């Protein structure tokens, strides 16, 4: 009899334990916060066509930094995190050549003036020939490179994780100059991608500042804060500028994590406007509107000249958005379920949507009305929008 009682108790205990999963969703105390869930997609009126031209599974490996494909004339260049470099025909996706570089890639990939540039986890900037992938030069930096290099055909500029921006000679890779910024004790993993414009280099730093740098010497023309570091704790003082800034006429617009989106008048060296926003995504601008995706994937469009919020789109909230890309007068973004969304830059309305992957979208790169979409498993898809 005792054995029977013991068995009954065991069965009752097992039934109680198995029910815990269903009970765990119940809320017995009123002061617990509910976890906000990703917004569910609702049907839209498709007014723009998204056409898949081709896709290829190229692999990605562990993602150490910023892995993005690149357009180059009639070709597409892609390098995976484990160093597999491919040159593809843009129209067909057919492989022109492929090379195993043996590098752990963290800053990829820039193409310009018949050369390919990428950064490694070991802190090397590597230059290859676009025609056959042969190595031309490589140079060592002081830390890992987590963003895409940029070049104007005279200097190649990279930004490394230790807060340095370094210029290298385009022809032979010799170091020309270094600009060092102060790095806070606690920062996000990532760096801003420098941009070239108006004869200068523009980039942001982990200390919440942006700089305007002479490309030939590395001298600073202008340095200003996007956000002032005023938090009480180290965590609250994280104000990294990790997304790419935009340059519109003579105004530089940058945004930071836990901070602001700020428009800086480059002619007068002063702030034109500033609004609260927290983001690590790239900014993009079209139709006198600059678009920002905040930390909760709320999409906002600000007037370039005034900073006024022109529209706000909440339909993709918490869907782990990619950085946006410009497609003509539209915006393209990807989400964690493998959807590509096309938004009207005029009012933020949805124009089209297409599921192209079962994996999260990692990056979108545009050229006119064509886009390359990379998911986090290394599938590269070429789409036309029209």
pLDDT computed for residue 237 by the predictor:
74
pLDDT at site 12: 38
Query: What's the rounded Cα separation, in Å, for the pair 355 and 335?
Result: 10
Structural domain contains residue 205: no
Domain count, the chain: 1
Domain that holds residue 92: 56-180
Q: Which of 257, 344, 248, 261 is nearest to 307 (CA)?
A: 261
| Residue 88 falls inside a structural domain | yes
Residue 335: inside a domain: no
Separation CA 125–CA 220 (nearest Å):
23
DSSP 186: S
Put the strands of the sheet holding 175-180 in their side by side order: 150-151, 155-159, 164-169, 175-180
Structure confidence by residue, pLDDT tens digits, 160-203 = 988 899 999 999 999 999 999 877 676 777 788 999 999 999 99
- Give the CATH number of the domain where residue 125 resides: 2.40.128.630
* Neighbour-count burial of 229, counting CB atoms closer than 10 A to its CB (0-12 exposed, 13-18 middle, 19+ buried): middle
pLDDT at 233: 78
Burial of 378 (0-12, 13-18, 19+ CB in 10 A): buried
pLDDT at position 22, please?
35
Judge whether residue 214 has pLDDT over 80.
Answer: yes
**125 lies in a domain?**
yes
What pLDDT was estimated at residue 184?
66
Domain assignment of residue 261, yes or no: no
Which residue in the block uniquely carries the two structure tokens 């031309």?
A: 136
What average pLDDT does the structure give for the chain?
Answer: 89
Q: How much is the pLDDT for 24?
A: 34
Q: What is the mean pLDDT of residues 227-238?
A: 76
pLDDT on residue 59: 85
Tell me, what's the pLDDT at 33? 56
pTM of the prediction? 0.87
Sequential DSSP letters for 232-258: SSTTTT-----SPPEEETTEEEEE-TT
Please give the C-alpha separations between residue 376 and each of 106, 115, 216, 280, 289, in angstroms, as whole numbers. 14, 26, 36, 18, 29
- The band of 213, judged by pLDDT with boundaries at 50, 70 and 90, is very high
DSSP for 6-31 reads HHHHHHHHHHHHHTHHHHTT----TT
Length of the chain: 386
With 0-12 / 13-18 / 19 or more C-beta atoms within 10 angstroms meaning exposed / middle / buried, residue 275 is middle
User: With 0-12 CB in 10 A as exposed, 13-18 as middle and 19+ as buried, what is 185?
Assistant: exposed
355: β partners = 339
Closest CA relative to residue 174, chosen from 135, 133, 130, 138: 138
Establish if 245 belongs to a structural domain.
Answer: no
Residue 95 within any structural domain of the chain? yes
C-beta of residue 273 within 8 angstroms of C-beta of residue 181: no
When pLDDT is cut at 50, 70 and 90, the band that residue 2 belongs to is: very low
Question: Within 13 Å and on the Cβ side, how many CA atoms surround 245?
Answer: 32
The candidate with the shortest Cα–Cα distance to 292, out of 328, 266, 331, 265, is 331
If pLDDT is split at 50, 70 and 90, which confidence band does 234 have?
Answer: confident
d(CA 213, CA 84): 33
Smallest CA-to-CA distance from 241 within 222, 224, 254 is with: 254
CB count in 10 Å sphere of residue 353: 17
Query: What percent of the chain is predicted at pLDDT more than 90?
Result: 76
Residue 154 and residue 48: Cα distance in Å, rounded? 41
State residue 27's pLDDT score. Answer: 39
Rg, C-alpha atoms of the chain: 24
Using an 8 Å Cβ cutoff, are 107 and 65 in contact?
A: yes
> What would the two tokens of residue 100 be?
């195993």
Residue 302: inside a domain: no
pLDDT tens for residues 13-72? 433 333 333 333 333 334 445 688 999 999 999 999 999 999 999 988 777 788 899 999
85-132 pLDDT, tens per residue? Answer: 999 999 999 999 999 999 999 988 999 999 999 999 999 999 999 999
Q: Backbone phi, then psi, for 8, in 5-degree steps?
A: -65, -40
């Amino acid at each position: 009899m005792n054995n029977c009682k013991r068995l009954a108790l065991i069965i009752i205990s097992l039934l109680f334990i198995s029910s815990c999963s269903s009970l765990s969703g119940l809320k017995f105390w009123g002061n617990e916060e509910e976890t906000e869930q990703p917004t569910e997609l609702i049907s839209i009126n498709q007014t723009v066509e998204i056409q898949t031209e081709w896709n290829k599974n190229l692999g990605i490996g562990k993602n150490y930094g910023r892995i993005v494909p690149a357009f180059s004339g009639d070709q597409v260049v892609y390098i995976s995190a484990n160093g597999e470099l491919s040159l593809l025909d843009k129209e067909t996706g057919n492989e022109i050549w492929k090379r195993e570089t043996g590098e752990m890639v963290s800053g990829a990939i820039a193409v310009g003036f018949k050369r390919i540039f990428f950064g490694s986890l070991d802190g090397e900037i590597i230059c290859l020939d676009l025609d056959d992938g042969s190595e031309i030069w490589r140079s060592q930096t002081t830390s890992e490179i987590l963003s895409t290099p940029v070049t104007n055909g005279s200097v190649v500029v990279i930004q490394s994780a230790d807060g340095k921006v370094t210029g290298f000679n385009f022809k032979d890779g010799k170091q020309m100059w270094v600009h060092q910024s102060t790095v806070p004790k606690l920062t996000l993993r990532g760096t801003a991608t420098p941009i070239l414009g108006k004869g200068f280099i523009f980039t942001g730093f982990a200390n919440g500042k942006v700089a305007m740098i002479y490309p030939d010497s590395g001298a600073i023309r202008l340095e200003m804060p996007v956000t002032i570091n005023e938090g009480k704790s180290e965590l609250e003082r994280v104000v990294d500028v990790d997304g790419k800034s935009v340059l519109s006429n003579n105004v530089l617009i940058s945004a930071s994590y836990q901070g602001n989106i700020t428009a800086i008048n480059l002619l007068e060296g002063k702030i034109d406007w500033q609004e609260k926003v927290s983001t690590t995504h790239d900014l993009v601008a079209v139709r006198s509107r600059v678009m920002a995706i905040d930390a909760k994937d709320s999409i906002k469009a600000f007037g370039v000249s005034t900073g006024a919020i022109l529209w706000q789109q909440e339909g993709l909230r918490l869907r782990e958005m990619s950085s946006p890309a410009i497609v003509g007068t539209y915006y393209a973004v990807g989400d964690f379920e493998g959807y590509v969304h096309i938004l009207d830059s005029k009012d933020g309305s949805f124009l089209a949507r297409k599921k192209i992957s079962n994996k999260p979208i990692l990056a979108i790169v545009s050229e006119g009305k064509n886009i390359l979409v990379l998911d986090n498993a290394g599938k590269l898809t070429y789409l036309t929008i029209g």
